[in-house]
Chain A
Amino acid sequence: MGGLPRGTVLDVSTTSLVKGARASRSTIALKLLMAVSGLIFVGFVLAHMYGNLKAFSGHDAFNEYAHHLRVLGEPLLPYSGFLWISRVVLLLALVVHVYAAVTLWRRAKAARTVPYVMKKSTGAIFASRLMRWGGVTLLLFIIWHLLNFTVGKVNVQGGPTNDPYNLMVDTFDTWWLTLIYLVAMLALGAHLHHGVWSAAQTLGLTGTAAARATWKKIAFALALVISVGFSLVPIFVLAGVIEK
């Protein structure tokens, strides 16, 4: 073994103490942003899932619901006012969520630059280790999903895009689009399974073993309800139960 003479002790770490600490500048503040923005998304996907299930009531019920979202709050709000308020809130939540995630991801990478030769994941559920790449998957899916149904409106079957119900049926009649959608719902389920419990822990709601167990159950139930609820419509379209 080469190197310095035996017994040499180097000053290998920082010795400075932080002065004037601010709670808002901490990693926990970033986690709080992550938790609150995440819970906004949970509220959104629940409402979105409810709207999607209108597909089971047929063409008119689905399209009426879509139209109703535009006139919601009228005359207090202008046409599409509610929709635009929701979009701004969701976009802000997305920016905050992604910013906090990227910052914490970079921190975590810097916190261990030399990897272990052998490292087990004792005590971790699979979903918890999937949060970052699963989140990237969801972000890519959201971009495609918006292009598909909101911003650009893409009908891969070449049909019209001005009828929400027909666009939905045309989309999920295409097996590979349904497959992409179902993979995204698996990613969403996993993300919520760990994310909802993690948000509760970050907000300080899990201070006892009983509260921890309760929130883990709530997280699992929400993940199951949301991912299965969203998956029903594309599966039933592909199976021919929901049709034009």
Chain B
Amino acid sequence: MSDNNHMSLTLKIWRQPDSVTAGAMHTYQLDDVSPDMSFLEMLDVLNEQLNAKGEDPVAFDSDCREGICGMCGLMINGDAHGPEVTTTCQLHMRSFSDGETITIEPWRATAFPVIKDLVVDRSAFDRIIQQGGYISVNTGSAPEAHSVPVPRDDAMRAFNVATCIGCGACVAACPNGSASLFMGAKITHLGELPQGQPERDSRVVDMVAQHDHEGFGGCTNIGQCTAACPKEIPLDVISQLNKDLRTALKHGH
């Protein structure tokens, strides 16, 4: 225990040297943690200490550290991205208390194999996007933005769900290991806009097929995904996903 401005923590962290070697939880003691540190800065401090002792630092993903890139993501005390509705990099140590034990694990999903420690391979998401998470347009100069009118509510819904950063928290939180919230966000984002219509049927069928092929589970509408989502993507995108697939089925896809 220490004074009000500094915290002492017990960290239980998953350590795994590579994808083929078995891993295990390791316990570390960390003192002098400032409540103003971000969660990743706290891990940086731990890694400096491990480095100084000649130990292998804990590998974890991060990039922008401002909550917009989707690179970071840890299972913290049983919640994806920890106890707040935000990304791991935007989570601060003031959300924890002095003397607390924090359990830190990688995302667990067959489709997200562990590469090392807390780093997982999320390229399954890239392949789902490759299967239709885009629109096909002729390249050249950008068209006049107002040439294709979009109703205000449709544009708002598309923009709201386009905030998905593909971090994978929905998969990590889902008891079925399903990526339906991620797919639903993409399907809704593109399906709300006129430019998304020509490929609407093939998009949902191809993306869902790739999702299933990657080994993600089926959705049971439990809602832990949306509770974990740092961008608060609502559950109704999964309804949209289901509706689009049903429509594609009716169209003979």
| Min distance, Cβ A38 to any Cβ of chain B, angstroms | 12
Q: Mark B31-60, 1 if CB is under 8 A from A, else 0.
A: 000000000000000000000000010000
Query: Contacting A22 at CB < 8 Å: which of B213, B226, B244, B253?
Result: B253
Query: Contacting A122 at CB < 8 Å: which of B79, B113, B177?
Result: B79
Question: Given that A28-B208, A120-B77 are contacting pairs, would A203 and B224 also be in contact in the complex, using a CB cutoff of 8 Å?
Answer: no
> Which of B65-73, B103-111, B134-142, B143-151 makes up part of the contact surface?
B103-111
Indicate if the CB atoms of B223 and A111 lie closer than 8 Å.
Answer: no
Query: Contacting A31 at CB < 8 Å: which of B113, B127, B242, B243?
Result: B242
| Min distance, Cβ A106 to any Cβ of chain B, angstroms | 9
Indicate if the CB atoms of B239 and A10 lie closer than 8 Å.
Answer: no
Query: Contacting A111 at CB < 8 Å: which of B216, B225, B236?
Result: B216
Q: Mark B170-188, 1 if CB is under 8 A from A, else 0.
A: 0001011110000000000
Instruction: Flag whether A62 is at the interface (Cβ < 8 A).
Output: no
| Min distance, Cβ B111 to any Cβ of chain A, angstroms | 7
Instruction: Flag whether B154 is at the interface (Cβ < 8 A).
Output: no
Identify which of B15, B109, B177, B242 gathers the most chain A CB atoms within 10 Å of its CB: B242
Chain A residues in 8 Å Cβ range of B226: 123
Indicate if the CB atoms of B220 and A128 lie closer than 8 Å.
Answer: yes
Instruction: Flag whether B156 is at the interface (Cβ < 8 A).
Output: no
A1-51 contacts to B (CB < 8 Å): 1-4, 6, 8-10, 12-18, 21-32
Indicate if the CB atoms of A13 and B113 lie closer than 8 Å.
Answer: yes
Count contacts on B: residues with CB < 8 A to the other chain. 72
Question: Given that A2-B17, A15-B127 are contacting pairs, would A26 and B56 also be in contact in the complex, using a CB cutoff of 8 Å?
Answer: no
Indicate if the CB atoms of B103 and A118 lie closer than 8 Å.
Answer: yes
Instruction: Flag whether A143 is at the interface (Cβ < 8 A).
Output: no
> Which of B2-10, B87-95, B227-235 makes up part of the contact surface?
B227-235
Instruction: Flag whether B214 is at the interface (Cβ < 8 A).
Output: yes
Instruction: Flag whether A162 is at the interface (Cβ < 8 A).
Output: no
Bound state CA distance, A120 and B241, in angstroms? 26
Instruction: Flag whether B221 is at the interface (Cβ < 8 A).
Output: yes
Q: Mark A74-112, 1 if CB is under 8 A from B, else 0.
A: 000000000000000000000000000000100110111
Bound state CA distance, A2 and B176, in angstroms? 32
Bound state CA distance, A9 and B115, in angstroms? 8
Indicate if the CB atoms of A108 and B218 lie closer than 8 Å.
Answer: yes
| Min distance, Cβ A181 to any Cβ of chain B, angstroms | 27
With both beta carbons as reference points, the residue of chain B lying nearest to A109 in the complex is identified as B217
| Min distance, Cβ B173 to any Cβ of chain A, angstroms | 7
Query: Contacting B217 at CB < 8 Å: which of A17, A108, A203?
Result: A108
Question: Given that A12-B115, A119-B78 are contacting pairs, would A201 and B242 also be in contact in the complex, using a CB cutoff of 8 Å?
Answer: yes
Instruction: Flag whether A197 is at the interface (Cβ < 8 A).
Output: yes
Question: Given that A18-B209, A104-B217, A124-B223 are contacting pairs, would A23 and B243 also be in contact in the complex, using a CB cutoff of 8 Å?
Answer: no
Instruction: Flag whether A158 is at the interface (Cβ < 8 A).
Output: no
Indicate if the CB atoms of A203 and B121 lie closer than 8 Å.
Answer: no
Instruction: Flag whether B19 is at the interface (Cβ < 8 A).
Output: yes
Identify which of A13, A23, A113, A125 gathers the most chain B CB atoms within 10 Å of its CB: A23
Chain A residues in 8 Å Cβ range of B177: 108, 111-112
Chain B residues in 8 Å Cβ range of A198: 220-221
Bound state CA distance, A104 and B175, in angstroms? 12
Indicate if the CB atoms of A201 and B18 lie closer than 8 Å.
Answer: no
Indicate if the CB atoms of A115 and B239 lie closer than 8 Å.
Answer: no
Indicate if the CB atoms of A18 and B210 lie closer than 8 Å.
Answer: yes
Query: Contacting A112 at CB < 8 Å: which of B19, B108, B223?
Result: B108
Query: Contacting B176 at CB < 8 Å: which of A10, A23, A111, A121?
Result: A111
* 10 interchain pairs, CB-CB under 8 A: A8-B18, A17-B210, A27-B218, A108-B178, A108-B218, A115-B108, A116-B75, A122-B228, A194-B221, A209-B234
Which B residues lie at the A interface, using CB under 8 A?
Answer: 12, 14-15, 17-21, 25, 56, 75, 77-79, 103, 105, 108-111, 113, 115, 121, 123-124, 127, 130-131, 173, 175-178, 204-206, 208-228, 234-236, 238-246, 248-249, 253
